[in-house]
Amino acid sequence: MAIHFHKVTIIGVGLIGGSFAKVLRATGLAGSITGLGRSRETLELALELGVIDHMELVAKHAVEGADLVVLASPVGTFEQLVYEIGPHLERGAILIDVGSVKGRMVHRIEEILPKEIQFVPCHPIAGKEKFGVFEATEKLFRGTNCILTPTKRTESAALNMLREVWITAGANVIIMDPDMHDEIFAAVSHMPHVAAFAMMCAVAELSTGTDNYLNFSGAGFKDFTRIAASSPEIWRDICLMNRDNIIQMLDRFLFSLNRIKQDLVANDAKRLEKHLKIASDARRGLG
């Protein structure tokens, strides 16, 4: 299959959007790449770095003539963006997103999007320790999983094309139902982020009077709470867009926490060890 996009528009040229642009360029999959964003500085930097060929601040202008449009801004912006760009998309264009929620968001976008536009929802599970277009690299997706969550409305031609693109980027492609995606990621990503945020809230203000307790935190605590440094705006949106699943997973977590707390209150060494061992065995299996 010879894939070539005449014009690609990347909405949100950060780490993920910029890295995806670099993949397209490095593999010759794109003719020209236009970046759309809210920040002129970011777009100028992306131009300077050669990540994009053109910059644009007005959504409907940015997508004119594009045969591939990529939503790579925070997930909370997708719905409004699709309202804005929908009527201006080329007939036959493919829209994708790279957000970390699917489920209701996918169904909502399909309601808004003109029927003649294909939508292929993508979730590249790529490292995000660092942010911004300056960190973008065509290597970002190598060896990672990328989940595609098509619906009945998604044509197999568009799905297969995007599958090829992500494989070209070095990713392992997994096809999954959008609602199943949100259940799984509530468990392995969204709820753990909430827990890390809550942990920091619980500990941040504690002090001996002269020293903040956090001064004594070791590698374990730092590992545990690293994801709490993530953007509050982005995580607010993710949490709200997947709130039912996250609430359900939080309830599971609260149950497990309270169970161990009860073992401590009861001073029950046997039950405590049993509950710790379930966890330890599972974690060792994870590598």
- Which H or E run includes 146? strand 145-148
Residue 107 as a binder of a copy of itself (CB under 8 A): the answer is no
Backbone angles phi, psi at 70, to 5 degrees: -115, 115
Toward a copy of itself, which CB reaches closer, 66 or 105?
105
Closest approach, Cβ 162 to a copy of itself, in A, equals 19
Per the CB < 8 A criterion, the answer to whether 11 and 81 are in contact is: yes
Closest approach, Cβ 245 to a copy of itself, in A, equals 10
Which residues, 69 to 98, sit near a copy of itself by CB under 8 A?
none
Which residues, 203 to 242, sit near a copy of itself by CB under 8 A?
203-204, 206, 208, 213-214, 216-233, 235-236, 239-240
8 C-beta neighbours (distance < 10 Å), count: 24
Tokens of 44: 């100028």
Residue 1 as a binder of a copy of itself (CB under 8 A): the answer is no
Residue 143 as a binder of a copy of itself (CB under 8 A): the answer is no
Toward a copy of itself, which CB reaches closer, 49 or 199?
199
Closest approach, Cβ 210 to a copy of itself, in A, equals 11
Toward a copy of itself, which CB reaches closer, 159 or 174?
174
Closest approach, Cβ 32 to a copy of itself, in A, equals 32
Rg over alpha carbons for the chain, rounded to the nearest Å, is: 21
Residue 286 as a binder of a copy of itself (CB under 8 A): the answer is yes
53 C-beta neighbours (distance < 10 Å), count: 17
Closest approach, Cβ 141 to a copy of itself, in A, equals 13
Residue 127 as a binder of a copy of itself (CB under 8 A): the answer is yes
Tokens of 49: 């770095």
3-class SS string, 210-253:
CCEHHHHCCHHHHHHHHHHHCCHHHHHHHHHHCHHHHHHHHHHH
The one-letter amino acid at 225: T
Identify which range of 29-37, 50-58, 159-167, 187-195 contacts a copy of itself by CB under 8 A: 187-195
Toward a copy of itself, which CB reaches closer, 157 or 240?
240
Residue 201 as a binder of a copy of itself (CB under 8 A): the answer is yes
Closest approach, Cβ 18 to a copy of itself, in A, equals 19
* Long-range contacts at 78-81 (CB < 8 A, ≥ 24 apart): 78/105, 78/109, 79/105, 79/108, 79/109, 79/112, 81/11
